[in-house]
Amino acid sequence: MEWSVNNAFKSYKDMEPKSTMDMVLIPNMDTIDIVLGSSEKGNVVPSAKPRKKTMTSVYLKYFETAPDGKTRRCKFCGQSYSIATATGNLGRHLSNRHPGYDKTGENVSSSAPQPSTTPTVIKKPQPQGRAPQVDYDHLNWLLIKWLILATLPPSTLEEKWLANSFKFLNPSIQLWPGEKYKAVFREVFRSMREDVRASLEQVSSKVSIALDFWSSYEQIFYMSITCQWIDENWSFQKVLLDICQVPYPCTGSEIYNSLVKVLKMYNIENKILSCTHDNSQNAIHACHALKEDLDGQKMGPFCFIPCAARTLSLIIDDALRTTKPVIAKVREFVQELNASLDISEDFIQLATAYKEGSWQFPLDASARWSGSYQMLDIVQKAGKSMDAVVRKNEEMLGNRMLLNTAEKNVVNIVHNYLEPFYKVISEIGVNTPPTIGMVIVYMDHISDTITTRQPPDWLKNPAEDMAKKLRSYNNQVCNIFIYMTAILDPRIKCELIPESLNSENYLEEARAHFVRNYYTTPFSSMTSGYSSQDIEDGGAVSFAEEIARKKRRASMSNATDELTQYLSESPAPTKTDVLEWWKVNSTRYPRLSAMARDFLAVQATSVKPDELFCSKGDEIDKQRFCMPHDSTQAILCIKSWTQGGLKLKYKSTEIDYERLMEMAAAAAADISLAGMDKKQK
């Protein structure tokens, strides 16, 4: 069955504020007031005498007063209001219901129904004006926005009780069928993807990509592909390219084919400089195949690097391996604290009395790094308070959460051992993504921490596993490509670069790459007075040509000096904003800054650190796992694009949600005003 999706959207781009009646979701309905706790039989409530008011306002000429002096009625639509209604409310009615009312003639009374002069007996209130017109497509578009922000599939709106809830508010509400929502999402996805493609066509620098993988409850293997670059204003840009299904058996070959398809769709395969992957062997094989492909097409340099955040996560898991039983006890205690206001207040009071710090609830009890480290924190910093709370609430908590001396000692050792990890993760988890050069410095510090400390015997095996994973990471990032990204960070240059990456040969290769790729004159003319073509011609060149080539050589020598001069200066302070530094100094290093724009966009992590180390990742994993296949690509991509600043579009028309919300708010205010008038009557 084919749905007419075109009728779902009525020219939102050129929407005129014709009337807020279009957005009234709950029209005025005939109601019978039901009083809870009714009075005894026979009691009579006398009607209040009308108060006499004198009122002068420019709005009053558009309303006529009823013969009984109790109500005023709009001359346009017949809507009645109590005589006590403020003129400001009457003005809002005119602005919302009848835009341009002040431009109409004075003779408007004929459009409103005239009151009957024959007295009648009415058992319940009757509407005195025409019922508001309702455009339920507005409601459906607001529900689409809700599904996107909440990361919910369209099938959510097919739930019987949700639909009944809308019917309870207004029986005439019509939600779109589920298939229509899906069709609209598919069209919105296609429209917004065209905007993403158009934005990438304007990128003048190289771009880097990052890969992430997961499986859904349907056992479908997905790959997300994110693109990063630095624009001409030295602002870091990031956009999700696609969420694509990787066909079974999901090996490196299938990942490679899916990746190439997306790169060609966006026409950026000739702009790719690097790919950051999730450290899995299949991803490594796919990146290796992509490098061979790009090298064969002579697209320029390409490098793939492992995710530093995932490497740190694996290393931390090794360190926490021996303390899992203790952490499980503490986590159970924290969950009880979060669940009970009385117990948490006991903990806060005791921590204050024992001077064991201040704690903000709810505490992070997730199984991720942030939660696990918080469990260690509580034992080390608030051990007395924890014991006192358990003993005070022994009937509820029992003694199973009390830690003995040996367990506390283990926690203290592991907490101290992992403190450098906590500091590093805090640094790379900030909003501004750190350069890969700075991440390499952090990882080198972690490596020194592991190799120089002497752990107790029970921690030696985990420490060896940690060191092994770090060596594997260092081996993958120890190359000329990463060296160039590091020295282009003005905080690092050659002085802070790790010893394992510092090589004289790398510096010469970096210089050669700079001259070869970021200066228009061939590198060969740098080494001698004449090019190879000159030698073949027997050196027969005119004097004018010799002067011209001499000037070109001098100019190119200056280009080479950009790198020399840059490296000769002291590194910038570590708190320096790298992109701001290059923005200010790009006039001093015009050619080198072009190289920096390319290489500083290379990412050290394939996933945001806070999504991997914090409880936020639990919510993201749950959403990905539960999303059905027919909605995964559209919902996740649209959500990412809107969060990145792109406007939601249907076909070529932008959906103005701010305008929709303004109309909804105005309609709600109008309904509230009408309800207030009924109560006053």
Q: What pLDDT shows up at residue 550?
A: 57
Best CA proximity match to 311, nearest among 475, 473, 500:
473
Q: Is the pLDDT of residue 533 over 80?
A: no
The residue count for the chain? 681
Q: What pLDDT shows up at residue 8?
A: 38
Please tell me the distance from the alpha carbon of residue 441 to that of residue 203, in angstroms, as a whole number.
30
Q: Residue range 358-369: average pLDDT?
A: 93
Q: Residue range 667-672: average pLDDT?
A: 69
Q: Is the pLDDT of residue 72 over 70?
A: yes
Best CA proximity match to 73, nearest among 125, 42, 115:
115
Whether the bond between 50 and the residue before it is cis, its omega within 30 degrees of 0, is no
Write the burial class of residue 596 (CB in 10 Å: 0-12 exposed, 13-18 middle, 19+ buried): buried
Q: What pLDDT shows up at residue 473?
A: 95
For the chain, the domains span: 136-182+656-672, 191-306+626-646, 307-429, 434-519+568-604
Band of residue 316 on the pLDDT scale cut at 50, 70, 90 = very high
Which residue is listed with tokens 């030698």? 535
pLDDT digits (tens, 9 = 90+) for 112-150: 334 333 333 333 344 444 444 446 788 899 999 999 999
pLDDT digits (tens, 9 = 90+) for 454-489: 889 999 999 999 999 999 999 999 999 999 999 999
Cβ 385 vs Cβ 355: under 8 Å: no
| Angle (deg, nearest 10), helices 590-599 and 543-568 | 50
Cβ 126 vs Cβ 80: under 8 Å: no
Q: What pLDDT shows up at residue 669?
A: 72
Q: Residue range 641-662: average pLDDT?
A: 88
Q: Flag whether the pTM goes above 0.95.
A: no
Please tell me the distance from the alpha carbon of residue 336 to that of residue 398, in angstroms, as a whole number.
12
**Range with the lowest mean pLDDT among 164-173, 472-481, 636-645, 660-669?**
660-669
Instruction: Check residue 529 and give left, alpha or beta (phi > 0: left; psi -120 to 50: alpha).
Output: alpha
pLDDT digits (tens, 9 = 90+) for 584-619: 999 999 999 999 999 999 999 999 998 999 999 999
Band of residue 542 on the pLDDT scale cut at 50, 70, 90 = low
Q: Residue 290: which H helix or E strand, with range?
A: helix 281-296
Please tell me the distance from the alpha carbon of residue 136 to that of residue 171, in angstroms, as a whole number.
12
Which residue would you say has higher pLDDT here, 129 or 675?
A: 675
- The CATH class, in words, for 191-306+626-646 is alpha beta
Q: What pLDDT shows up at residue 299?
A: 81
Sequential DSSP letters for 163-229: HHHHHHH-TT--PPPHHHHHHHHHHHHHHHHHHHHHHHHT--S-EEEEEEEEE-TT--EEEEEEEEE
Q: Residue range 511-538: average pLDDT?
A: 54
Q: What pLDDT shows up at residue 104?
A: 54
Q: What pLDDT shows up at residue 173?
A: 84
